[in-house]
Amino acid sequence: MTLTLIPDYDLSKHTWLGVGGKADLFAEVDNEENLISFLKNSQCPITVLGAGSNVLIRDGGISGVVLKLGADFQKIEITGDKVIAGAGAKLMEIAQKTAKSGLAGFEFMEGIPGTLGGGLASNAGAFGSCLSDLLQEVFFTDFRGNTKTISDFSDWGYRYSPYAHKGIFLGGVLQAKRFASSDEISALMQKYHEKRAASQPQGVRTAGSTFKNPKEGSAGFLLEKSGLKGYKKGNAEMSTKHANFLVNHGATATELEDFVNEVRSIVAEKQGVKLEWEVQCLGRKR
């Protein structure tokens, strides 16, 4: 099986920050069989993109092949208290479907605009919950097409998955915490929605939290304490509403990355804390 590979494909339209150069080659792959067969026959470096809500793709673009997971990977099935979802399924859609079926535990996914695959790469979470709390099995392949089923999540942690950058998540089985009424679940989701609307910038180009929270406390608080809430340089800004949200008003990827690194240095200097990027910087500098 050969995929239709598109050369020099503009990646900026696939990212929330709206920046990034071109993929040498790009393909959307519609099912697992085609993906595995492609990986087994390819020698190229592979990068996979989900919804592009946690990446800063550099201006020099990405070497090799960039893959997006297509139709078959977007399926979500509910059986009893379990959800079987493809890695291309949107987390918000999983939250909505499980709410309708009376499955509790998925409410935190409301408001996370990524896919299950992207979420598994960072063990996405919010409001004290994260994906690994719910995982029963995860289907994974390395970049050469060797598949495995992961069922031990004891070494997953806060925004950490041991499999990130080592291959491609294909999908997973998630188990509900309990059954509850759809009204109860929807009420919690609404509460989370309101909390986000009150504390995070809306309708802007951002990639969510820029830095992980360090052991010293909240990254947003440390940024604020360093006088960086609303700090702006050119077209890059740390949001006036939430200091840990980078907002792009029209900067290039290089300008955004340099800006975030400068902010990081200021926090290190003023608070003695080295913040770690949560946003994934991918690709080549120009």
Ligand X SMILES: Cc1cc2nc3c(=O)[nH]c(=O)nc-3n(C[C@H](O)[C@H](O)[C@H](O)COP(=O)(O)OP(=O)(O)OC[C@H]3O[C@@H](n4cnc5c(N)ncnc54)[C@H](O)[C@@H]3O)c2cc1C
State the residues that interact with ligand X by CB under 6 A. 16, 47-55, 69, 87, 112-115, 117-119, 121-122, 124-126, 168-169, 206-208, 280
- Residue 110 is among the residues annotated as catalytic for this protein: no
- Residue 278 is among the residues annotated as catalytic for this protein: yes
User: Nearest distance from residue 214's CB to ligand X, in Å?
Assistant: 16
- Residue 37 is among the residues annotated as catalytic for this protein: no
d(CA 115, CA 168): 13
User: Nearest distance from residue 80's CB to ligand X, in Å?
Assistant: 25
d(CA 61, CA 85): 30
Smaller CB separation from ligand X, 20 or 114: 114
Residue tagged active-site, from 42, 107, 159, 239: 159
Smaller CB separation from ligand X, 18 or 102: 18
d(CA 206, CA 54): 9
Smaller CB separation from ligand X, 76 or 124: 124
User: Nearest distance from residue 5's CB to ligand X, in Å?
Assistant: 18
User: Nearest distance from residue 30's CB to ligand X, in Å?
Assistant: 14
Residue tagged active-site, from 209, 226, 237, 239: 209
Smaller CB separation from ligand X, 141 or 226: 141
Residues involved in catalysis: 159, 209, 278
